[in-house]
Amino acid sequence: MAAAQAAPHRPEPLPLERLFDNRAVSDDARPGDADFDGSGGSLSARDLTGAGWTPGRSLAVDGARLAWPRTKAGEADNVRADGQSVRVRGRGDALAFLVAGTGGEASGAGTVRYRDGSKGTYRLTAPDWRSGPLATKAVALPHVNTPGGQLAEKARLYVVTVPVARGREVASVTLPKDPGAPDLHVFSLSVRQPAKGWTGSWSASTAGYTAVGPWADRTVRLVVHTSTGGPRVRIRLDNTFASAPVRIGSATVAVQESGAGARGEPRRLSFRGEGGTEVPAGAQAFSDPLDFDVPEDTNLLVSFHLPEAVTTAPVHSQAIQRSYVSGPGDHAADGSPAAYTSTISTWPLLTGVDVSGGPGSVVLLGDSITDGVKSTQDANHRWPNVLATRLLQQDDVPRFGVLNQGISANRVIADRYPGDGVSTDTGGVSALHRLDRDVFAQTSARTVVVFEGVNDVRWGARADQVVVGMREIAERAHARGLRVVAATIAPCQGESLCTAAADAERVKVNAYLRGGGDFDAVLDFDAVLRDPGNPARMLAAYDSGDHLHPGDAGLAAIAESVDLGVLVPD
């Protein structure tokens, strides 16, 4: 009788650094010490240091924490994916990979193994390090090193996340096997940990990277409006799209009294135990939890000192809110407004305020209407603010935090801002390109409401193109376990780009949304805002006057029309 066939041997999982088999980083004086792409090309160690990506540094990107390899230039610092078994531990919502492809975009399927013995599959795609999209890169470096000399060509690195089973502890990850002709390189890997015990109370999307100030030894005091409250607070700073680190000297939080004046003494924030922090290019920083009673539906002052010259910064351009900049010195702890001698109408660097407790957050992914353009300045009359107030005033559904991820001029399928470099365009990268950062990585996201598309059709996109993009948003969000709600596109006849042809495409998109079945629910904002006598036009009582943006009354009507029950996850 033949002996039973032995089960195939599965290699013992090893830490990723034990598997490094490729050298991606070279000293500028010795480019031949590395060969990332098989043709002698490599990343510049000097450029990485200039971006703040130093050996062994912990980098927070899109809610995940990854370590840049603790290796010297010319040493093995990454793995070419070929079925290696990697030891990884943790519970979370996603695996985060720091990757790049060489020879083109690289993609392949891998396996996740859990401590309970179960397993699942994932697909990982790494854009090419020299030709991949700048809109989704974690960092772009200014040069490529080659044996023949340094090229003034951008090298890209990417953080890519893939969903895992929530609640199960990851034990190991098998990298894709033979992903195809291009090589898929992995520099770092971790489980993105959930933000346990936190709810997002306020947020803003990075809309572009612009000239600011210049600010040197100045304190920026930003006014933001909470949705839900809680007994502890933390803030999030993002150096999105940047090419260099930014130094935060100190930071505080306070309740606004009026203008730049605080109610009581501002409370100092810390970052990993330190009074300030440096945020590398493309990365983010969370402050440590602080015992501080954050009131609901209230303006806060978030202040941070910039001790070094800051001439460019990631910004949210349409704050619809006055904030403040001081004269020389660190005035973050000042309760008095006296030092704050100038105003700004953007939110630079600050992207989130979280509070402890609460049921989680609803994320509103939108364009200028969600952003609040044409609402009354300093009045918090954006429709997300009105929706947040409604949630606070009832007990039938959880009192979710409301996170406004609207960007003026944003589109579903096309980038306005290219995703790299200094630009005056602050329309953001597309909804598809910012989905991971602005939705999946948001604190305790439970539901996403998608209210976009008018800018696509106004600028010539066909309905079928927008539909493909909306369907992809729904599919990707569902894969992350989110409830996904769509809102129909509002009418805009009378605005210069809202031609009859554009309106015809808008109507087609709305027909898809109402009957497509790809979303868990649909909010018919078109029906709320339109003139019954002329459905292509906004009702005059709701029109701000430009025929595209609702005024305060129209924004309130949108928020009041939302059935709060559709926001509740199953």
Q: What percent of the chain has pLDDT over 70?
A: 98
CA distance 457 to 187: 40
Amino acid at the residue 67: A
Check pLDDT > 50 for residue 230. yes
Average pLDDT along the chain: 96
Check pLDDT > 90 for residue 195. no
- Among residues 171, 467, 202, 169, which one has the least CA distance to residue 353? 202
Q: Is the pLDDT higher at 6 or at 564?
A: 564
pLDDT-based confidence at residue 11 (cuts at 50, 70, 90): confident
pLDDT-based confidence at residue 9 (cuts at 50, 70, 90): low
For helices 383-392 and 552-561, the axis angle rounded to 10 degrees is 40
CA distance 209 to 336: 30
Statement: 359-570 belongs to CATH 3.40.190.290: no
Check pLDDT > 60 for residue 111. yes
Average pLDDT over residues 234-242: 98
Average pLDDT over residues 488-515: 98
CA distance 292 to 288: 12
Average pLDDT over residues 176-192: 89
CA distance 518 to 310: 44
Q: Hey, what are 9's tokens? A: 């041997």
Average pLDDT over residues 324-349: 98
Cis peptide before 127 (omega within 30 of 0): no
Check pLDDT > 50 for residue 2. no
pLDDT-based confidence at residue 194 (cuts at 50, 70, 90): confident
> What stretch of H or E contains 269?
strand 261-269
Q: Hey, what are 184's tokens? A: 């898929």
| Residue 258: how many other CB atoms lie within 10 Å | 9
Amino acid at the residue 141: L
pLDDT digits (tens, 9 = 90+) for 508-519: 999 999 997 999
Q: Where are the domains of the chain?
A: 16-192, 206-354, 359-570
Average pLDDT over residues 340-345: 98
Check pLDDT > 60 for residue 47. yes
Q: Hey, what are 534's tokens? A: 């002329």
Residue 7's Cβ-count burial label (10 Å; 0-12, 13-18, 19+) is exposed
CA distance 557 to 56: 51
- Among residues 170, 215, 211, 209, which one has the least CA distance to residue 189? 170
Check pLDDT > 80 for residue 17. yes
Q: Hey, what are 289's tokens? A: 């939890």
Q: Around 340, how many Cα atoms within 13 Å sit in the side-chain half-sphere?
A: 27
CA distance 423 to 11: 49
- Whole-prediction pTM: 0.96
Q: Is 414 helix (H, G, I), strand (E, B) or coil?
A: coil
Q: Hey, what are 278's tokens? A: 């440096």
| Residue 431: how many other CB atoms lie within 10 Å | 27
> Which pairs from 430-434 meet CB under 8 Å and 24+ separation?
430/135, 430/469, 431/365, 431/469, 431/473, 432/469, 432/472, 432/473, 433/133, 433/135, 433/136, 434/205
* Whether 100 contacts 156, CB under 8 Å: yes
* Whether 124 contacts 176, CB under 8 Å: yes
Average pLDDT over residues 484-502: 98
Average pLDDT over residues 311-333: 98
CA distance 459 to 466: 12
pLDDT-based confidence at residue 444 (cuts at 50, 70, 90): very high
- Among residues 421, 352, 410, which one has the least CA distance to residue 209? 421
Average pLDDT over residues 425-451: 98
Report pLDDT for 5.
52
- Among residues 322, 328, 319, 315, which one has the least CA distance to residue 249? 328
Check pLDDT > 60 for residue 1. no
Report pLDDT for 297.
98
